[in-house]
Amino acid sequence: MKTRLLTTSAVLLGITLATTGGAFAQCTEIGMLTWEGYVDDAWVKPFEEETGITVKRTYVGSNDEYMAKLAAGGGDYDVVTIVSSLAERAIGAGFVEPLDVAQLPHIEQIFAGFRDLEFIHKDGELYGVPTFWGTTPVTVNADVIPEGEDFGILFDPEYAGRIGMWEDVTTIADVASYLGYDNLWTLTDEQLEEVKKKMIEQKSLVRTYWSQAGEAIELFASGEIVASNSWNYITQALREQGVNVREFVPENPVGWLDSNFVVKGSDCAAEAHAFIDHLIAPKTQGQIAEATGYTVTNPESREFMDEAVWEQLYMDEGPDLLERIEFWQDIPRRGRYLEVWNEVKAARQ
């Protein structure tokens, strides 16, 4: 017992020395604000055992809740996972603080394209560490639509009454991207009108709009719909249920990226850095990919991942896909985007 205590202290001391450059401010517990399932025991336990730092996790149910919790004062948390669409706002609002890259040895390994993304930087400083991401793919019933990888499937009269669409502002971006626009998050009034026109045109083909993943899964499983813009998770869940579905990424896909940040004013910044770095370590990334079905940012994770998973998660296409992807970003005119959605639904053909 005594020796173990000694070893732990020695390790702790080592880490503290290594990460804070000798200053004696050590924490034995850090708080993390994240989604459930993102920080599983499988990869948190090894960190806790290795460092003696306990990771206290608080789960959040929606992106809006994140902002509310951070706005209410970050005091309880040291690390927070923030999605790309809110990153700029969180940095701008001063909820998070700049990172010390020297304390993140693994950051060199992640795809450069992620490291250089604008919305995780401010004034030349890095704020967030991109950890995993996904696209909004198109999921189709492979029995009915065995081939074709075009977003246009969702506008094909052949599948009239069998199309589903995700009722979310992201869908506006999906359709805008299909129409060839590249300013997905800052569409002009004219462009929004075009998107709206296209979506109203599509209405006669649409069975229903869904808003929760569970709804989409059920719509596919019960045969109500055969194609929808979707989430990787939905395809995954349907496969597990034995539904013959396939998914593809449109030419210019829309995607989301979750990055980890250090909360402003954290007393345990060094430990927070250590944990954030642990989450992009190759082994952890392999575990995350297998457990969550989300694509990860560190290609060195290949050896810790099943080959099938590697392919399914587009890891091979990584840098190439990254070029074409449009990550969710802050939508300055969010209210207007939503209004377009409502106008689509209220329109009488």
Contacts with other proteins by CB under 8 A lie at: 62, 64, 67, 71, 89, 93, 161, 168-169, 203, 206-209, 211, 222-224, 334-335, 338-339, 342-343, 345-346, 348
Q: Are 31 and 79 in contact (CB under 8 A)?
A: yes
CB 209 to other proteins: min, Å: 6
Helix (H) or strand (E) holding 295: strand 295-296
Give the rounded distance of the alpha carbon of 64 from its chain centre: 15
The DSSP secondary-structure symbol of 53 reads -
> Could you identify the residue written with the tokens 């706005």?
71
Nearer to other proteins, 28 or 208 (CB): 208
Nearer to other proteins, 129 or 225 (CB): 225
CB 95 to other proteins: min, Å: 10
Give the rounded distance of the alpha carbon of 158 from its chain centre: 33
Nearer to other proteins, 64 or 320 (CB): 64
Nearer to other proteins, 201 or 267 (CB): 201
CB 223 to other proteins: min, Å: 5
CB 301 to other proteins: min, Å: 34
Would you tell me the crossing angle of helices 213-221 and 232-240 to the nearest 10 degrees? 40
Nearer to other proteins, 154 or 268 (CB): 154
Going by their DSSP bridges, the two strands 295-296 and 128-135 should be labelled as: antiparallel
Dist. CA 137–CA 140, nearest whole Å = 10
Nearer to other proteins, 89 or 239 (CB): 89
CB 280 to other proteins: min, Å: 28
Alpha-carbon separation of residue 62 from 86, 168, 185, 331 (angstroms)? 12, 13, 20, 17
CB 345 to other proteins: min, Å: 4
Dist. CA 316–CA 294, nearest whole Å = 14
